[in-house]
Amino acid sequence: MVSAVVFIPLCAALILLFIPREEEEITRRVAFGATVLTFLLSLLLLVEFQSDTADFQFVERFSWIEDFGIQYAVGIDGISLFLVLLTTLLMPLVILSSWDDIHKRVKEYLFFFLLLETGMIGTFVALDLFLFYVFWEVVLIPMSFLIGIWGGPRRIYAALKFLLYTMVGSLLMLVAILYLAYLHHAQYGTVTFDLLQLHKLTIPPETQIWLFAAFALSFAIKVPLFPLHTWLPDAHVEAPTGGSVILAGVLLKMGTYGFLRFAMPLFPAAAHAAVPVIMALAVIGIIYGALVAMVQPDLKKLVAYSSVSHLGFVMLGLFAFNVEGVEGALYQMLNHGLSTGALFFLVGVIYERRHTRLISDYGGLWKQVPVYAAVFLVVLLSSIGLPGLNGFVGEFLILLGAFGANPWAGVLGVSGVVLGAVYMLWMYQRVMFGPLRHVENTKLTDLSRREVAVFVPLLALMLVMGMYPKPFLIRMEKSVEATLARIQLARPLPDPTTPGVERAGDRDAIQEVSHSATD
Amino acid sequence: MEHSHAALATVHAVSYLRFIVLFPLLGVLFNIFAGPRVGRRAINLVSPGVVLLSFFFSFAALLQLPPGGALVDTVYTWITAGRLQVDFALRVDPLSATMILIVTGVGFLIHVYSTGYMAHDEDVARYFAYLNLFTASMLLLVLGDNLLLLFVGWEGVGLCSYLLIGFWYTDDEKASAGKKAFIVNRIGDAGFLLGIFLLFWSLGAKGVWTLSFAEIQTHAGLLAVETVTVICLLLFVGATGKSAQIPLYVWLPDAMAGPTPVSALIHAATMVTAGIYMIARLHFLYSMAPTALAVVAIVGALTAFFAATIALVQTDIKRVLAYSTVSQLGYMFLGLGVGAYSAGVFHLMTHAFFKALLFLGAGSVIHAMSDEQDIRRMGGLKTKMPITYGTFLVACLAIAGFPGLSGFFSKDLILEETVASPHGSVVLWLIGTLTAGLTAFYMFRLLFVTFWGETRAPHEVAHHIHESPTVMTMPLVLLAVLSFIGGYFTLVPFLAPVFGGHHPAHVSALVKYLPTVAGLAGIGLAYQMYVRDPAMAERVAQRYAAVYRLLLNKYYVDELYDRFVVQPVVAASQWLWRVWDTVIIDGTVNGTAQTVAANGLLLRLWQTGNVQVYALSFLLGAMVILGYYLW
Amino acid sequence: MVPISYHLVLSGVLFTIGVMGVLLRRNTIIIFMAIELMLNAVNLSFVALARHLGSLDGQLIVFFVMAVAAAEAAVGLAIILLVFRGRETVNADELNLLRW
Amino acid sequence: MITPPPVNWLSLLPGLILTVTGLLILFWDLWMKPEERRLLAWLGFIGFVAAGIVSVLLWGRNESAFNGMLALDAYALFFNVIFCVVGAMTILMSVHYLETVEIQPGEYYALLLFATVGMVVMAAATDLIVIFLGLETMSIAVYVLAGMWIRRLQSSEAALKYFLLGAFASGFFLYGIALLYGATGSVQLDKIATAATTGGVSSLFLVGIALLIVGFGFKVAAAPFHVWTPDVYEGAPTTVTAFMAVGVKAAAFAAFARVFLHTFGSLHAEWEGILWVLAVLTMTVGNITALVQRNIKRMLAYSSIAHAGYLLIAMVAGRDLGGAALLYYLVAYGVMTLGAFGVVLAVGRQGEPNEEVSDYIGLGLRYPVLGAAMTVFMLSLTGVPPLVGFTGKFYIFSAAVQAGYIWLAVLGVLNSVISAYYYIRVVVNMYMYEEGGKTIEALSARPALVTAILLAAVATVFMGVFPSASISLAKESFLPPG
């Protein structure tokens, strides 16, 4: 069933090839139908998902290249379930929104998007490192095409930068994967890339360090973590609306997912050693992203830098190494997907009408397009983490977890909450409030029926995830605890110098958590 | 001084408390979706109606409140993550009963008033949607059974104040006032969040994973005093943000940009009292941390005095009231700071009545003066607006602490406790008394300049000054009555089960009566300067020109913040973006690409095209390999 | 009996002369002759080694080498002719149409 | 009467078929009318296919022939199949091309066949001299092929350069054989191998190995010896360039691997250092110089140098790990490069050859099938999964890592990133620019070329996604030691 979810978009993409180029309407319908079908199937996964076990469900496994010990192994657990759902949810919306704004070479556009969807879902469900790597790379190509062909003026620079930047990281990860397989061969006699087998490896700490470094570099570029983020604003600014939504909504999560699924459990000792560095970078990322976002003249760049800040939060949560922080991070990944995805849709809406992204070209839109302004306000509030909406639950858990792990990280992280409000509201005021200065704005038409259809599911989810997050958190609980138990077992002796209010209380909590996970 | 550990209240589970919050929310939905289509009359009926319904339910809860006990309505579990378990539960105990009655009661009156005030504003649906949303958030804040729900309400009211301040969004200046309010609140909330985290983890370190007030209270003893002090201070940072104390009060005066009923409801009666409610709710923590209490008291007293001095010279009617609110809030914090929690809450209640009345009165004056807010262009309204004048006079007397009215009882109770309680000190009492005098002075200055003497308004404004319609004056009268008799519902016995028993403080006569004398002196001085000898104010202003200008410009605090906080941050982010991001990081990224390409050009020259050069490079290669082997 | 090293040294010297010829001379035909010289140097070493090892293989190989050299000569000169007809020059320095 | 020695004809069968076809073409061409020239192409094609089928039929045999000079084993047959496929594809590609560039088809196809015979001999040879002979027959045929485009001066210059340097290199190669002969007393590979393991390794032996490396280095276009490749590849007719880039390189590696991985397998410690350096140098020089190339044929030349570098990594990884990886990657590299050259041919035209990378602007949009094929080849050459290029590189790098050469793998990976730039730039030109761009002849007029391209594209995708069949084939055919 999982493979069906992965490969339906691919089949639809191939079907698209045979539809003649002029039949745009049919191509769009086929693509939309395929993505909706995938979404329904993934809902089926959600329904049948048991939240009381930590191990993988719906596992499908058959051998692919026996000589290398490579299997086609896919499966879902608490961590990857909602990320798959996020992907399958955003895709139909993207295709729906492209009905209005993409008119040249529609067939290729939809083809690349469907290919992209297969790559993304594959990355989240792959249990075999080789398969994961294949899907990880496969995602790059369609995305670069999308940015390169339908993008803005500097699209080629942005596409190439995105491709090469991510490729450097991922290729180094390939060498690390190969070394892992070799280690398994050395220790157990057989070469395998299966994640569960590789969990059994005992890797000496020094080798763990550089293996973790290789994985971490690749994922950090994707997240993006602070110093490696400069590709994001370019890619976002130049990408078409649908591209930006998926880039921000899902692709960034592949990095954080990679950390949680591969880098941390496979190399626990190294993960612990890396905590101070990554937490520092995450905090810098939060503040840096917020500050730079504040002064951006271009709407899309502002949202791009806000993603740097939000993902900084997610990394902070991940590396707090306690259940609250990690669950908060996972939850925030979903929230960010919804809120930033919606933000890019919103920017796309006015970009389609005015063909400019400069904040100074707008002003006083509320009077002209009240429904649009209201939707924008709700999405904005979810993005800055207003309680009652989904952003708050994620941010609160992350900061709670981070504070528990290292109070100073919590304190600096909280500043991100304030800065977030600053740049978002300042932008909102310059765009929505004030008098209608530019005459072109008076001709703006409010949201069309189709555009509203794109926002309704997103807004509804934001509200539901804010008011009643329990069903989501429950399903994540077991898998997160199991992963954390794996990491904590390799925890170095907590030297008293590191501040960590939760040291005492944490240990007994971990004991009973690890019992529940291992027995 | 109450002893802090009252017996644990007996708890009754009920299931109707949720409707108190739900009704305003229904009002919000009605206004958003049905509002624009259904016309003004329906909106004017529904919006106040839902608040009235909440009022009745609150009253029912009050009646059903078991003596010394509490009603708890657990709706569903909100967040479960690891060791954090937060339920969406509402709790009514004497403290929250008082608060919800104030919020729904005064709120209802203000809703009614607004229907008149916003009569000719076409966007009334959006206005009432925000107002109802505010009421819902405020009710959630006071009914929340755990710290997190309190925080949810806390930020909810922050959002509504942002929306309502910037209600007339077409004016950039008003919109930025809203933004300023939200951001300053957010700074406070950041502190609040840190307090919650520290509380959660330090309790967790002792094995207790909770955020609900009852459990915190039972396990508070486990915590070390230093941790509790830090927690209380962090939470107090949140309180200063929300209840506009030094240093985070700057947003309140600018918040006057919103419609006047908004100022009445949010910036006088309810929202700004959130900080006081929070400290009262966590009184058991604060009483464990004397240093924290001292800080609260000192900040309260200083803010009271500081704001009162600024109010002396303000010319905008709403600004005077804004600074007066900041000052009165200072009083409440002073009360809490000296351990007299019930006195603080009592003053909160009475203040809600007369300050709401003052704002609504000011609103009706502005309404009559066709949106003129500068008191120097008013005067002589006494005869033209008798009801507004009458109610305004009652409120002024109440706030000045005129004996017999509500202000006298609550303010003096605080001042007495400042001396009597172990946490209090005479210096604070002195500041309090001086501020009482100042308060009386600026209130009556406002009264005399606005209502007495001849109208200084230009002719066309003057001739159609008229009394506001009954829908506006009826709330004024009701509030006047409340301000009058409010003082006699001393909450102390009612709140005893929450804050523990209280034996009346016996103090010397001087302490008891000096504040009242100061008040009367203030009234007299105001009478002298603005009625008997109008020129006197001018002379005093010239003589102490420097001081006058300092006060008029609000100690230049806004300018200081702008220079030392806002500008540097914006400059830093410009630098970060222009230099750090584009030059340094992007530079290295593109740099590596260019160097590789440069090497490419270099290597390309190796292909000279001449066969013999190729043969030479071939030979060199061969010799290197041979050389390797011969050694 | 002359020790084998003399022969090898001689063939080494011959080989180096051949290589120098290829590098220094201008005319492609002379270059080609220098290459032939190198091949003959190798033949010499083959013969010397065959005698030294007392096996006939070396001698035999020389014939293969010569045959190959002859074939190469035929084709090589044809190509040089082709180049000459096209470019009227066989000077190695001028033949650099194809470069970087 | 001298009884003819028992000759194991089977071992020669593929070579014989090719030779006979070549001769047939030469004779038939004499009395053929000009417009019937195309038939020659089909004859050549049938020759290649027949030889290929025969090699497949002979699979599983493991005999040596001509008392130790030639071997009929899986290794040789595996390479035979590669050579025949390459030959057949080259013919398919050149059917129409020859008319545009006015090359005599008769001699052209014959020479192709004779060159392949040389390759077959090289792959099957277990005797140094036989390797040399095979090498020379192949080289001489290819020298001529390179110069056949008489219209263009560059072609003759390319032939000249290739000839001079080829002869020069074979001089060194021969000198190496002589020294080895001196050191071990024989030129038979197995005797040399036993001599290497038993007797000590004299300095004569080492110098011999060094010179062999130089000789093979030239043929395989390893770094310091690669300087001839770009000029010759650019100058020669495109079909010959394709043939050289894939066929000649594969043959060179066949001999190189047999000699070094088997015969000198035990001396791995001696030569792996040198090859390590050569591999890194070759990859880096190939990739970095390719970055700045504007001519697509020159770019593909440098790319083939770079891929030689990756193949050298497989060599460094040693016999049991690297051998099979080498074979598999040769197949992968062959398919991709042939396809790429096919597209270059399709884009080339009579008037201006359209060889600049910038000539590809907007191509992908106007000719979607051609564009898609080129994208597949370019992505596969970069090593993007799930195409065959990636699986090949993956196999080589995992061999290198398992053999302990972590840094080699890291350098290889970094080189792939550099290569990504110039490969993707072609794709960028094809899709991401709108304005300008050339029109090319209708593809329908060149069915043979299109089939070749499509075959290559399908193979690139299919072997990438389902590589297990070809991998096990490569593993099986890599000679078990001894």
Q: How much is the pLDDT for A519?
A: 34
Interface B:C, Cβ pairs < 8 A: 33
Please report, for residues B25, B102, B141, B199, D434, the alpha-carbon distance to residue B91 in angstroms, rounded to integers and kept in the order given.
18, 16, 11, 20, 67
DSSP string, A350-400: HHHHH---BGGG---HHHH-HHHHHHHHHHHHHHTT-TTSHHHHHHHHHHH
Q: Which of A65, A134, A175 sits opposite D410 (nearest CB)?
A: A175
Cβ separation D181–C49 shorter than 8 A: yes
Determine B/C contact with 3+ CB pairs under 8 A as the test. yes
Q: Enumerate residues 232 to 271 of chain A having a beta carbon within 8 A of any beta carbon in chain B.
A: none
Cβ separation B197–A364 shorter than 8 A: no
Classify residue B487: in a domain, yes or no.
yes
Q: Is the pLDDT of residue D83 over 90?
A: yes
Asked whether residue B500 falls in the same domain as residue B603, the answer is no
Residue of chain B whose Cα is closest to the Cα of D228: B614
Instruction: Please choose, from the candidates A513, A512, A493, the residue with its C-alpha nearest in 3D space to the C-alpha of residue A503.
Output: A493
Question: Two tokens at D368?
Answer: 């979607």
Residues of A in contact with B204 (CB under 8 A): 404, 502, 505, 509
Q: Which of B604, B607, B612 sits opposite C92 (nearest CB)?
A: B612
Q: How much is the pLDDT for A412?
A: 93
B229–chain A nearest CA distance, Å: 16
Query: In the Cβ-directed half-sphere of B357, how many Cα atoms lie within 13 Å?
Result: 32
Give the residue from B532, B552, B572 where a domain finishes. Answer: B552
Q: Which sequence spans correspond to the domains of chain D?
A: 266-482
Q: Which residues pair with B192 in a beta bridge?
A: none
Q: Is the pLDDT of residue D349 over 80?
A: no
Domain tally for chain B? 2
Cβ separation C31–D164 shorter than 8 A: yes
Q: Which sequence spans correspond to the domains of chain C?
A: 4-89
Query: How many percent of chain D have pLDDT more than 90?
Result: 47
Contacts of C among chains (3+ CB pairs under 8 A): B, D
Residues of B in contact with C92 (CB under 8 A): 610-612
Distant-in-sequence, close-in-space partners of A516: CB < 8 Å, separation ≥ 6:
A481
Classify residue B19: in a domain, yes or no.
no
Distance in angstroms (rounded) separating the CA atoms of residues A104 and A120: 25
Q: How much is the pLDDT for A465?
A: 92
Q: List, for residues C22-81, the tens digit of each pLDDT value.
A: 999 888 999 999 999 999 999 999 999 998 888 888 888 999 999 999 999 999 999 999
Question: Two tokens at A374?
Answer: 């209201």
Cβ separation B612–C100 shorter than 8 A: no
D301 within 8 A of D227, measured Cβ to Cβ = no
B146 within 8 A of B154, measured Cβ to Cβ = no
Interface residue C3 vs chain D (CB under 8 A) = no
Distance in angstroms (rounded) separating the CA atoms of residues A457 and A464: 10
Distance in angstroms (rounded) separating the CA atoms of residues B357 and B347: 15
Residues of B in contact with C31 (CB under 8 A): 611-612
Q: Is the pLDDT of residue D153 over 90?
A: no
Query: Hey, of C36, C43, C82, which one would you mutate to test binding to chain D, going by the most D CBs within 10 A of its CB?
Result: C82
B91–chain A nearest CA distance, Å: 19
Range of the domain at B540: 293-552
Asked whether residue B427 falls in the same domain as residue B455, the answer is yes
Q: How much is the pLDDT for A500?
A: 47
D→C contacts (Cβ < 8 Å), by residue, are 129, 132-133, 136, 140, 143-144, 147, 150, 153-154, 156-161, 163-164, 167-168, 171, 174-175, 177-179, 181-182, 185-187, 230-232, 234-235
Classify residue B308: in a domain, yes or no.
yes
- For the domain bounded by C4-89, which CATH number is listed? 1.10.287.3510
B557–chain D nearest CA distance, Å: 56
Residue D437's pLDDT band (boundaries 50, 70, 90)? low
Give the residue from B530, B552, B574 where a domain finishes. Answer: B552
Q: How far apart are the first and last CA of chain B?
A: 96
Interface residue A156 vs chain D (CB under 8 A) = yes
B259 within 8 A of B164, measured Cβ to Cβ = yes
Residue of chain A whose Cα is closest to the Cα of D375: A141
Residues of C in contact with D131 (CB under 8 A): none
Cβ separation C31–B607 shorter than 8 A: no
Classify residue B408: in a domain, yes or no.
yes
Residue of chain D whose Cα is closest to the Cα of A165: D417
Cβ separation B617–D172 shorter than 8 A: no
Classify residue B298: in a domain, yes or no.
yes
Q: Enumerate residues 73 to 92 of chain C having a beta carbon within 8 A of any beta carbon in chain D.
A: 75-76, 78-80, 82-83, 86-87
Classify residue B110: in a domain, yes or no.
no
Classify residue B260: in a domain, yes or no.
no
Residue of chain B whose Cα is closest to the Cα of C19: B619
Residues of B in contact with A410 (CB under 8 A): 194, 197
Residues of B in contact with A396 (CB under 8 A): 79, 148, 193
Q: Is the pLDDT of residue D290 over 80?
A: yes
Query: Hey, of A418, A427, A481, which one would you mutate to test binding to chain B, going by the most B CBs within 10 A of its CB?
Result: A418
Instruction: Please choose, from the candidates A133, B380, A201, C72, the residue with its C-alpha nearest in 3D space to the C-alpha of residue D383.
Output: A133
Q: How much is the pLDDT for B42?
A: 87
Q: Enumerate residues 171 to 190 of chain A having a beta carbon within 8 A of any beta carbon in chain D.
A: 171-172, 174-175, 178-179, 181-182, 185
Interface residue D369 vs chain A (CB under 8 A) = no
Q: Which residues pair with A76 in a beta bridge?
A: A57
Q: Which of D401, D468, D471 sits opposite A178 (nearest CB)?
A: D401
Give the residue from B531, B552, B573 where a domain finishes. Answer: B552
Residues of B in contact with D203 (CB under 8 A): 629-630
Q: Which of A227, A291, A481 sits opposite B576 (nearest CB)?
A: A291
A164–chain D nearest CA distance, Å: 7
Instruction: Please choose, from the candidates B359, B166, B191, the residue with its C-alpha nearest in 3D space to the C-alpha of residue B270.
Output: B359
Q: Is the pLDDT of residue D160 over 60?
A: yes
Q: Which sequence spans correspond to the domains of chain A?
A: 2-518
Contacts of D among chains (3+ CB pairs under 8 A): A, B, C
Q: Is the pLDDT of residue D280 over 90?
A: yes
D287 within 8 A of D415, measured Cβ to Cβ = yes
Q: Which of D133, D147, D168 sits opposite C82 (nearest CB)?
A: D147
Distance in angstroms (rounded) separating the CA atoms of residues D112 and D238: 14
Cβ separation B78–A469 shorter than 8 A: yes
Q: Work out the angle at residue C82's Cα, subtended by the Cα atoms of residues C80 and C85, and round it to the nearest 5 degrees.
A: 110
Distant-in-sequence, close-in-space partners of D471: CB < 8 Å, separation ≥ 6:
A65, A67, A68, D324, D328, D391, D395
Cβ separation A473–B81 shorter than 8 A: yes
Asked whether residue B459 falls in the same domain as residue B583, the answer is no
Please tell me the pTM assigned to this model.
0.90
Residue of chain A whose Cα is closest to the Cα of B86: A470
Q: List, for residues D117-152, the tens digit of each pLDDT value.
A: 999 999 999 999 999 999 999 999 999 999 988 888
Mean pLDDT by 10 residues, chain A (519 residues): 90 90 87 94 91 88 85 91 94 89 86 94 93 92 91 88 91 92 88 87 89 94 89 90 92 93 91 92 93 91 93 93 92 94 92 88 86 92 91 93 91 91 90 85 85 92 92 90 85 51 45 39
Q: Which of B607, B612, B616 sits opposite C99 (nearest CB)?
A: B607
Question: Two tokens at A217?
Answer: 């570099």
Q: How much is the pLDDT for B557?
A: 86
C39–chain B nearest CA distance, Å: 16
Q: Enumerate residues 396 to 415 of chain A having a beta carbon within 8 A of any beta carbon in chain B.
A: 396-397, 399-401, 403-404, 407, 410-411, 414-415
Query: Hey, of B601, B602, B611, B613, which one would you mutate to test binding to chain C, going by the most C CBs within 10 A of its CB?
Result: B611
Cβ separation D397–A178 shorter than 8 A: yes
Residues of A in contact with D431 (CB under 8 A): 145, 148-149
User: For chain B, which ranges sit under pLDDT 70?
Assistant: 1-9, 501-505
Cβ separation A433–B194 shorter than 8 A: no
Kindly provide the b/e burial profile for residues B174-199, where b requires at least 16 CB atoms within 10 angstroms of the residue's own CB. bbbbbbbbbbbbbbbbbbbbbbbbbb
Q: How much is the pLDDT for D266?
A: 81
